[in-house]
Amino acid sequence: MGGYGSVRERGGPRVGKTALGAGLLLLCVSAVSLAIGVAEAPAAKRVLKPNPANEPTLIGMKMDPIRYDGAGKCRKNVPAGTRALKKWLKQNTMRGVYSNAIRCDGGVHNTGRALDWSLDARKKKEKRKADRVVNTWLAKDDRGRRNALARRMGVQLIIWNCKFWLAGDTGMRKYSACKGTKNPDPTQGHIDHIHVELTKPAAKLNTSFWRSEEAPGNGNGGGVSPE
């Protein structure tokens, strides 16, 4: 067999041209690999600091179950959980514009468990604010549990900037309204707003986050971290 470390005599190791050349090749490959590793390393995703999912009141608790609750009858009043989510989003994006949570369109908006938060991916600062929140929802906590804050809050669906995440997914996926077109409609593609849905327990403030000190009004409220 050829290659480094394969050239030997009975009396002991021998470093000849083949071994020396292979050794140099190995060093070169290692250097190139290191350089490629640095060049290809993905940029760290921007998240809220600290991530509320890692706070002492939550990190030791059992994780909330994965669930998705579908549409229901159109109601008149916005649930407490949706109002709390609105407040939390305002604190963590420094923005207070959103569309009416209740919209009798046959979907989860019927129930008041969905809202559309106005941040525009075509505007750099707004995209950065939205990405920070979405990344935080889907990040692992310090115990390695994926989508930790989304599960804690009872977030069941996120649609943002031509991608969506559904409870149980490992990450964002391409949204159907943006497939097959270079210029998707900003509203249909959720480019000009984030669509967020809550589970039924979350709408009643009955998940671990909303019962914790991290929820708005319960403690520090998880306010926005500096840019």
What pLDDT is stored for residue 8 in this prediction?
Answer: 29
Q: Mean pLDDT score of the chain, rounded to an integer?
A: 81
What pLDDT is stored for residue 19 in this prediction?
Answer: 40
Tokens representing residue 66 in the block:
């994965």
How many other CB atoms sit within 10 Å of the CB of residue 202? 28
Q: Sorting pLDDT into bands at 50, 70 and 90, what band is 216?
A: confident
What pLDDT is stored for residue 32 in this prediction?
Answer: 33
Give the residue-averaged pLDDT of 138-152.
Answer: 97
Q: Residue 152 contacts by C-beta under 8 Å, 6 or more apart in sequence? A: 52, 53, 58, 63, 64, 207, 208, 209, 212
What pLDDT is stored for residue 105 in this prediction?
Answer: 86
Tokens representing residue 159 in the block:
């649609």
- For residue range 179-214, list pLDDT tens digits in order: 999 999 999 999 999 999 999 999 999 999 999 988
What pLDDT is stored for residue 15 in this prediction?
Answer: 37
- For residue range 107-140, list pLDDT tens digits in order: 999 999 999 999 999 999 999 999 999 999 999 9
Burial of residue 208 (CB within 10 Å: 0-12, 13-18, 19+) is buried
- For residue range 94-107, list pLDDT tens digits in order: 876 777 678 898 89
- State the pTM of this model: 0.77
What pLDDT is stored for residue 218 in this prediction?
Answer: 77
8 Å CB contact between 189 and 175: yes
Half-sphere exposure of 30 (CA within 13 A, CB side): 6
What pLDDT is stored for residue 44 in this prediction?
Answer: 65
Give the residue-averaged pLDDT of 8-17.
Answer: 36
Give the residue-averaged pLDDT of 141-146.
Answer: 97
- For residue range 28-86, list pLDDT tens digits in order: 333 333 333 333 333 468 999 999 999 999 999 999 999 999 999 999 999 999 999 99
How many other CB atoms sit within 10 Å of the CB of residue 48? 21
Give the residue-averaged pLDDT of 141-160.
Answer: 98
